[in-house]
A and B are shown apart, each in its own frame.
Chain A
Amino acid sequence: MGNQHDFFKGTMKIRVSGKLIAPFLQACTKRGCMISNISWVREDEILMTIRLNEWTTIRKLRKKYRCKVFILEGKGMPFIQKRMFQRTSLLMAFFIAVIFIFLLANTLWSIRVEGLTPELQANVEQKLKSYGVYPGRLTFGMNDPNEIQTKLLDDLPDLLWIGVNKRGTSYHLYGVEKIRHDTDLDLKPADLVAQKKGMIVKTFITQGRPLVEVNQIVKKGQRLAAGQLVEDEDIYVHAEGEVVAETWYKVEQNLPLQQVIELTDGTMSKEYRLRIGQMKLPLWGWWGESKKDLREEETTKKMSVLGWNLPVQIQVSTFYQIDHSTMKLSREKLQRLGIDTGRQSLKQTLEADAEIMNEKVLHQRSENGKVKLILLFKVHENIAMTKYISQGD
């Protein structure tokens, strides 16, 4: 029976005056009333707090003991309730808020499509929009996920499967695209020719008449497989296949023997500026030592309110302490470095299935504090290229 109980049931502060206060209190407590906070005002008058449900007992007893009772104030739930119903505007606001929250909770806020190519994703989103499923719409009267799923699968033939999941206020779609095998193959007669010079390592001609063998050296533009199946006859096919050849690449590199590198050791300071148009106002951190030996990085934070970009931006400059250190490399290390960087840059120019087999240092010379490196890379790659046969018609 703590304060919690009193709060829910309600309490009242009353003023009692009369000659027989003490016997009156005695009688009240005898009937099970709990009286609290009795304070003396003057002779024949006290203030006290009683429970709301004991009011009837007190009212009955006050006549018997000739006491006058005035209610001063009420506390607790019943009074709050009463007051709330008196303030209709507050009550209205409360209900409006409830309705608002309910509506917001039943609004579709986001749609996430996963596992599809961008074009198909756009298609799915467009279709969803045509069904009336888009962010910002109420979910009332919207089709349920299963229906959307079947509709999407019917309408988009490119979809193999799509899962539609409703999670709270967002839709999660996970799609799998059909892999279309092109049946209308290009069947125009064609030869396979070499893209570049190289030594054949492996041939795999699926269609056409092979013209080269392994370990043969081919020049650029040389025919590797013919589309004409039999010599001097008019049976042509679209030659197809893979011809892996060893090709060679020469890479030249100039590397300095001594390098000065700037290292940051992690100590940094930040400076904040407020940017209004072209004007910059320093906000914080503008003091401090000179920013000479420091590396500066600048980022500008845009501030937006409800999708509107404010003309005011916050610019943060971060200054990193710089340590200059000289790196002197040995010749072997430098060579290793040169080979590695050469390999990296070559790899970027080659196709994905090409493989760098090995490398050789052709030439190494140092002059003026620099090392000149000429490297040769051996690469295995597909050199076959389709070339259409003009049949002269």
Chain B
Amino acid sequence: MSKLQKQIRTLVGRYFDLPSDVVLDLPRITTIGSVHFYIENHTGLLHFSDREIKIQYKQGHVRIRGKELVVKTMLKEELLLEGELQSVEFFPDS
């Protein structure tokens, strides 16, 4: 995506008050306390263990660290994580 297109998208999104995950093709992440982690619009699982999980999205990946992590459900674009979350870090592709 070119820089110009991105800027236009942001503007349009702001103007029409659209949710940014739709406009910018970004994942929507919801956490419930540090117990649940729910991500929509991801593109794949990069790494999986019970302490660290990496999930890819269009423009980067997220790293979740925690204890006893379990993927409760995994669908094409959704993923629900359970366990003791410690950190969520973003690594956008520059």
Contact = CB atoms under 8 A, between A and B. Distances in A.
Contact of B71 (A23, A26, A38): A38
Interface in A36-67: 36-40, 43, 46, 48
A25 B72 contact: no
A245 to B, nearest CB: 101
A8 B66 CA distance: 34
Contact of A36 (B44, B46, B69, B74): B74
A34 B72 CA distance: 10
Given A35-B71, A37-B70, A39-B70, A22 B76 contact: no
B49 A29 contact: no
A34 B74 CA distance: 6
A26 B44 contact: yes
A356 B86 CA distance: 102
B94 interface: no
Of the candidates A25, A30, A38, A43, the one having the most CB atoms from chain B within 10 angstroms of its own CB is: A38
Interface in B44-81: 44-50, 69-76
Nearest to B44: A26
B46 A35 contact: no
B88 to A, nearest CB: 18
Contact of A22 (B46, B72, B75): B46
A150 B46 CA distance: 86
Contacts of A26: 44-45
Contacts of B48: 21-22, 25, 38, 40, 46
A25 B75 contact: no
Interface string A208-241: 0000000000000000000000000000000000
B72 A37 contact: yes
A32 interface: yes
A15 to B, nearest CB: 14
Contacts of B69: 40
Contacts of B75: 29, 34
A46 B53 CA distance: 13
Contacts of A22: 44-48
A42 to B, nearest CB: 9
Nearest to A31: B76
Q: DSSP class of B's interface residues: helix, strand, loop or mixed? A: strand
Contact of A37 (B45, B49, B71): B71
B66 to A, nearest CB: 12
B49 A40 contact: yes
A40 B50 CA distance: 5
A23 B56 CA distance: 12
Given A35-B71, A37-B70, A30 B76 contact: yes
B47 A29 contact: no
A36 B82 CA distance: 11
Interface string B6-37: 00000000000000000000000000000000
Given A37-B70, A37-B71, A38-B70, A32 B49 contact: no
B3 to A, nearest CB: 29
A36 B46 CA distance: 17
A22 B74 CA distance: 12
A29 B50 CA distance: 20
Contacts of A46: 48
Interface in A6-24: 21-23
Contacts of A29: 74-76
Of the candidates B44, B70, B74, B75, the one having the most CB atoms from chain A within 10 angstroms of its own CB is: B74
A198 B72 CA distance: 105
A25 B49 contact: no
Nearest to B77: A29
B49 A38 contact: no
Contacts of B46: 22
A34 B47 CA distance: 18
A22 B55 CA distance: 10
Nearest to A43: B49
B61 to A, nearest CB: 12
A36 B73 contact: yes
A39 B49 contact: no
A39 B82 CA distance: 10
Given A22-B48, A39-B71, 8 more contacts: A21-B48, A26-B45, A29-B74, A29-B76, A36-B71, A37-B71, A39-B70, A48-B71
9 contacts: A22-B47, A22-B48, A25-B45, A30-B76, A34-B73, A37-B70, A40-B49, A40-B50, A48-B71
Return the 4 tightest CB-CB contacts between A and B, nearest first: A38-B71, A40-B50, A26-B44, A35-B74
